[in-house]
Structure 1
Amino acid sequence: MYERILVATDGSPLSDKAVANALSLAKLCGASLVALKVVPRYPRSYLEGGVTVDNAEIKRIEAQWAEQAQAMLDKVKAEGKAVGVTVKTSIAKSDLVAEAIMSAATKQKADLIVMASHGRKGLKRLLLGSETQHVLTHSQIPVLVLR
């Protein structure tokens, strides 16, 4: 059925649920799993009067974010090993989360993308946006959304 499943995680409890379900599905199908964490780039302000941050400080902060992401992905890899699923980890550095997820899925030749949805509605959805909704409506690869 599926040979390679990509699961996007942000470390939230809801995302952990998606990881657990993706691992179960991968085990059931005999598939491998790609665990993906999208790490944003440090915001830079080019507006007059904006606070500027030293490039070395920006690199330090981005490196810290990447280390935290890798620790999160290593946990997924350990969970996969415990249940007998091969897990490959991937970190994408991008401010465009949905685009990064779809790009990684294509690059990794995933048959399925697994994501969590917070289920925001109304004004909250409009203001906060929905990366899951964007992936769901724009991906050429099937998407399994868990809530």
Structure 2
Amino acid sequence: MTYKRILIATDGSALSKKAVASGIELAALSGASIVALKVVPRYPQAYFEGAVMVGPQEIKRVEKQWTDAAQTVLDEVEEAAAAAGVKAKTVTTKSDFIAEAIIAAAKKSKCDLIVMASHGRKGIKRLLLGSETQHVLTHSHVPVLVLR
């Protein structure tokens, strides 16, 4: 099968970087472009009794720090894609629902394949597949290539 646009989801972890490399290689072999996606969580705002209240400026500062770190990860993907002769677009999405954000980005960008690692930083939660990966596999209408 030949792919035209491949979404590569990354969290910047070592395992995710291997999936990025494989996704770029697949794109190069099939003449596809890639959409590199990093989902950034929103700052948790819990209001429990006795919890320390964090001001809006601090929340904005932390979220900006996370977004800047995401852009650094995506810049690395873009550089690797350019070195392989693959056209790349990068996308940062803010969401607490990572799997849903991946699926929505693939649909919005009209991707015909999603490439992602079997687990990221939350991999301890699942023995075989990360919870986000499992969710993407079971809910995506776009084919998913999972790499370990």
TM-score, normalised with respect to structure 1 = 0.92
Structure 1: distance between partners of 2:119 and 2:10: 13
Structure 2: distance between partners of 1:81 and 1:4: 15
Paired residue for 1:93? Answer: 94
CA RMSD of aligned residues (A): 1.7
Paired residue for 1:52? Answer: 53
Q: How does 1:60-75 map to 2 (within 5 A)?
A: 60-75=61-76
Structure 2: distance between partners of 1:91 and 1:124: 25
Paired residue for 1:23? Answer: 24
Q: Retained in 1: the 8 A contact 2:27–2:34?
A: yes
Q: How many residues align?
A: 143
Paired residue for 2:125? Answer: 124
Structure 2: distance between partners of 1:113 and 1:129: 15
Paired residue for 1:6? Answer: 7
Report deviation, 1:118: 3.3
Q: Deviations over 1:32-88 (max 9, x none)?
A: 000000000000012222221010010011001000100110110000111100010
Paired residue for 1:43? Answer: 44
Tell me the secondary structure at the aligned position of residue 39 of structure 2: strand
Deviates more, 1:45-54 or 1:22-31: 45-54
Cα distance change, pair 117–129 in 1 and its aligned pair in 2 (3 A): closer
Structure 2: distance between partners of 1:139 and 1:48: 39
Q: Deviations over 1:98-125 (max 9, x none)?
A: 0000000001100000010139xxx832
State, as a whole percentage, how many aligned pairs show the same letter: 66
Tell me the secondary structure at the aligned position of residue 93 of structure 2: strand
Cα distance change, pair 13–53 in 1 and its aligned pair in 2 (3 A): same
The answer for unaligned runs of 5 or more in structure 2 is none
Structure 1: distance between partners of 2:27 and 2:7: 10
Paired residue for 2:85? Answer: 84
Tell me the secondary structure at the aligned position of residue 34 of structure 1: strand
Tell me the secondary structure at the aligned position of residue 50 of structure 1: coil
